[in-house]
Structure 1
Amino acid sequence: MKQIEVQIMGQSYLLGCPDGGEAQLREAVERVDAAMCKIRDAGKVKARDRIAVLASLNLAFDLAAQQAATTEAAAAAPAAVAAGTPSTDTTETDTKAGQLIQRLDQALAGDGHLL
């Protein structure tokens, strides 16, 4: 594990980072910094610890909303297939299969024999 130095709201922090996770950690730091700066810039909260708590709650709420949307989308997909509504993948596969059948028909049209 290596350590990287980051800036959040203008203050430096030395964070432990697992091997191969630096890009993901830096992205997380950017989200936290943006969330905290947004709260600070609104001017209603001044204490850094309260800003951190509010930013954490906002990020956790956003994550929960994203997970709920993903769960709803995953639950709706099988229902759409069961109802006969083709998904994008199914439609694309059907189109490719139709094109392949046309090419086979053209190739076999010359002698009319499959073998």
Structure 2
Amino acid sequence: MKQIEVQIMGQSYLLGCPEGGEAQLREAVERVDAAMCKIRDAGKVKARDRIAVLASLNLAFDLAAQQAAAAAAPAPVAAASSAGGGDADAKAAQLIQKLDQALAGDDHLL
């Protein structure tokens, strides 16, 4: 497994990445970083762990909304979307797992 160094909210993390998955992981990191920075920049939440939880919930909510929209779509569109829906679930699960792993090593959270 390959390791890549990424930045989330200005902090470096070394993440494990399967071969061929670097672009996908970097895209997930960009989404998490953007979501966390947006919450931080709003100024109401200061603790990194709370920001991470809120960002994760926002991303999961967005994913659920996309899945609900795909399920409500007419049959031909839903059939095409459902094939990608499992992929979206897998991506979300990987994103949450990577975030969880990255935050587990963050001494600031204790």
The verdict on a shared fold, with TM-score over 0.5 as the criterion, is: yes
Deviation at 1:75? 3.5
Is residue 2:45 matched to residue 1:57?
Answer: no
Structure 1: tracts of 5 or more residues without a match: 79-115
Deviation at 1:77, TM superposition (A): 5.3
Q: Is the 8 A contact 2:5 2:15 kept in 1?
A: yes
Aligned to 1:22: 22
Greater RCO, 1 or 2 (C-alpha within 8 Å, sep 6+): 2
Q: Give me the whole-angstrom Cα distance separating, in 1, the residues matched to 2:52 and 2:59.
A: 10
Letter in 2 for 1:5: E
- CA distance in 2 between counterparts of 1:52 and 1:77 reads 33
Q: Residue 7 of structure 2 corresponds to which residue in structure 1?
A: 7
Q: TM-score, normalised by structure 1?
A: 0.64
Change (3 A) 1:27 1:77: closer
Percent sequence identity is 90
Q: Which residue of 1 aligns with 2:34?
A: 34
Give the structure with higher Rg (CA): 1
Q: How many correspondences in the alignment?
A: 78
Report the aligned-residue RMSD: 1.6
Q: Hey, which of these two has a bigger chunk of helix by percent?
A: 2
Deviations 1:69-94, CA, capped at 9 Å, x for gaps: 1111144759xxxxxxxxxxxxxxxx
Shift of 1:59: 0.1
Structure 1 residue identity aligned to 2:53: V
Match of 1:5, SS state, is strand
Query: Which residue of the partner structure matches residue 110 of structure 1?
Result: none
Name stretches of at least 5 consecutive residues in structure 2 with no aligned partner. Answer: 79-110
**1:20 is paired with a residue of what secondary structure?**
coil
Deviating above 6 A after TM superposition, structure 1's stretches of 4 or more consecutive aligned residues are: none
